[in-house]
Amino acid sequence: MNLNILVLPGDGIGVEVTGEAVRVLREVARAAGHSVRFTEGLIGGVAIKAEGTPFPAKTEKLALAADAVLLGAVGLPEFENAPPELRPERGLLRIRAAMGVFANLRPVRTYKPLLDSSPLKNSVVEGTDMIIVRELTGGIYYGTPRGISGEGAEERAVNTMTYSRAEIERVSRMAFTLARTRRKKVTSVDKSNVLENSQLWRKVVIEVSKDFPDVALDHMLVDNCAMQLVLNPKRFDIVLTENMFGDILSDEGAVLTGSIGMLPSASIGEKRPSGAWTGLYEPVHGSAPDIAGQNKANPLGAIGSVAAMLEYTFGLTNEAAAVNQAIESVLAQGRLTADLKPVGTPATTEQVGAAVRAAIQL
Ligand code: NAD
C-alpha cells in the first residue's frame, strides 16, 4: 500500500512527539512492505510567525491532498493575548472544518503497568476500554446566532445549540459501525430531559440503531454519565455524544488512565470512494511549553495516533495492533518518561520512541 501522509508538527513538544511517531510509522511500513510518503507543513504558532496565519492556504491544500494528517500540538505562550484569528489554536478549528472531520474518537483504555497512575482505585479502573465518539463540527461551538451585545445592565451573551438530523445521523452511524468491531454496545449521552436539541439527538440515534440490530443501545443523561465514568468506567464500550458534552466528558475520560501524554485521538470525516475514512490524527495533549525542547515529553499519545491512522484510514488492522502491542511492551519494560515515572531515572522522548520501534513485531 502507498501511504501519503501530511505531518504538521506545530508548536512546542508537538515537534518532538511527531518526530518519534513518524519514525515508528517508517519502521512499521518497512516491516510490512508499505511505501510511505511524508510531506510536512506549518500550523499554529510557527505558521503565524512564518506566514502570518495559523492555518496557511498552503497547509490546507496539502491536508486535502493527503490520505491522512498527523498533527503534533499548537500553542505558544507569546500568542496568549493575541486576537482570536491570530491565535495558534484557531489553526486547529480551521483544519477540522476544512477536512470535514465531524467525529472525534478518543480511545480510553487502561494499561496494567500504569494502573497506579490513575486517580481511581485499581479495582475500579482496571479493564476500562472505551471509545468516546464526540460530534466535532456542530452544536453549540458552531451554532448561530452567537455573540455578546448591549451594555451595562442590558449586556447579554448568546450561543446557539443546533443540530440537524443529517449531522446526528452521520456521527451515529460511525459510532454503531465502530461498535461492531468491538463489544457491540453504544451508550448515547444527551440531556433530553431539558433540551429539545437532545430530544432530536435521541430520536435520530434510535432510528439509526434500527440498522444495527446486533448492537445494543442505551441512553444516559450527561450528568449521570459524568458520574458513571468515575464510578464504573468499565461499563462503557462506545460513548456517543454531541460536541460540548463530548469535549467535557473526554477530558474526564483522559485522566482515568494516568497521563494525558498517553492519549491518542482520531478525527474522522466522510468515507472516500476507496472506502477509507478521511482522518486527522493527533495526541490529546497540548504543546506543553513547560517541557518543550527538553526531550522529556511522552511520545506515546502521538505514537498511538499513528496506530489509529493505520486502522481507520488505511484499514491496516495488523499493523495498528503491532504498534499498540509495542506500546504495551515498552510500558511493561518500565521505559517511561517523567510524567509516568516521578521517581527514578525517566527515559527520554527519543529513548521511548526507539524502544517502541524495537518492540514492533510484524
Ligand atoms: P498541555 O497539554 O500542553 O500541558 C498540560 C500539562 O501536561 C503540562 O504540565 C505538560 O507538561 C503536561 N504534558 C502534556 N503533554 C505531555 C506529554 N506528552 N508528556 C509529558 N507531559 C505532558 O496543556 P496546557 O498547558 O493547558 O496548554 C499549553 C498550550 O497547548 C496552550 O497554548 C494550549 O492552548 C495548547 N493546547 C493545544 C492542544 C492541541 O494542540 N490539541 C490541546 C490542549 C492545549
**DSSP string for 183-247:** T-EEEEEE-TTT-HHHHHHHHHHHHHHTT-TTSEEEEEEHHHHHHHHHH-GGG-SEEEE-HHHHH
Which helix (H) or strand (E) segment holds residue 97: the answer is helix 88-99
340 lines ligand 1 (CB under 6 A): no
* SS3 call for 302: helix
Q: Residue 274 Cα, ligand 1 centroid: separation in angstroms?
A: 35
Per-residue pLDDT of the chain (362 residues; tens, 9 = 90+): 999 999 999 999 999 999 999 999 999 999 999 999 999 999 999 999 999 999 999 999 999 999 999 999 999 999 999 998 899 999 998 999 899 999 999 999 888 888 888 899 999 999 999 999 999 999 998 899 999 999 999 999 999 999 999 999 999 999 999 999 999 999 999 999 999 999 999 999 999 999 999 999 999 999 999 999 999 999 999 999 999 999 999 989 988 877 889 999 999 998 777 777 789 999 999 999 999 999 999 999 999 999 999 999 999 999 999 999 999 999 999 999 999 887 889 999 999 999 999 999 99
Q: Residue 288 Cα, ligand 1 centroid: separation in angstroms?
A: 4
Which residue, 167, 41, 152, is CA-closest to 103?
167
CA-nearest residue for atom 4, ligand 1, is 288
- Domains in the chain, CATH or no CATH each: 1-105+259-362 (3.40.718.10), 119-256 (3.40.718.10)
Q: Is the dihedral of CA 179, 180, 184, 190 positive or negative?
A: positive
What pLDDT does 48 receive? 98
Which residue, 211, 131, 197, 130, is CA-closest to 168?
197
Distance (Å, whole) CA 96 – CA 104: 10
Which residue, 130, 77, 92, 70, is CA-closest to 283?
70
Q: Residue 15 Cα, ligand 1 centroid: separation in angstroms?
A: 13
Active site residues: 141, 191, 223, 247, 251
Distance (Å, whole) CA 46 – CA 115: 36
What pLDDT does 308 receive? 96
> Residue 256, CB half-sphere, CA atoms under 13 Å: how many?
31
CA-nearest residue for atom 17, ligand 1, is 261
What pLDDT does 185 receive? 98
7 lines ligand 1 (CB under 6 A): no
70 lines ligand 1 (CB under 6 A): no
106 lines ligand 1 (CB under 6 A): no
Neighbours of 140 (CB within 10 A): 17
Helix, strand, coil percentages in the chain from 3-state DSSP, rounded to 5: 45, 20, 35
40 lines ligand 1 (CB under 6 A): no
> What are the residues facing 188 on neighbouring strands?
219, 240
Asked whether 220 and 272 are in contact (CB, 8 A), the reply is no
205 lines ligand 1 (CB under 6 A): no
What pLDDT does 265 receive? 95
Pairing verdict, β 264-271 and 103-109 = antiparallel
Which residue, 20, 96, 18, is CA-closest to 64?
96
What pLDDT does 341 receive? 82
Q: Residue 10 Cα, ligand 1 centroid: separation in angstroms?
A: 12
What pLDDT does 84 receive? 84
CA-nearest residue for atom 5, ligand 1, is 288
Q: What angle do CA 184, 188, 190 make, to 5 degrees?
A: 175
- Provide the b/e sequence for 301-330 (b: ≥16 CB within 10 Å): bbbbbbbbbbbbbbebeebbebbbebbebb
pTM comes to: 0.91
What pLDDT does 257 receive? 79
260 lines ligand 1 (CB under 6 A): yes
What pLDDT does 117 receive? 84
What cell numbers appear for 79 in the block?
500568542
What pLDDT does 61 receive? 97
Q: Residue 350 Cα, ligand 1 centroid: separation in angstroms?
A: 19
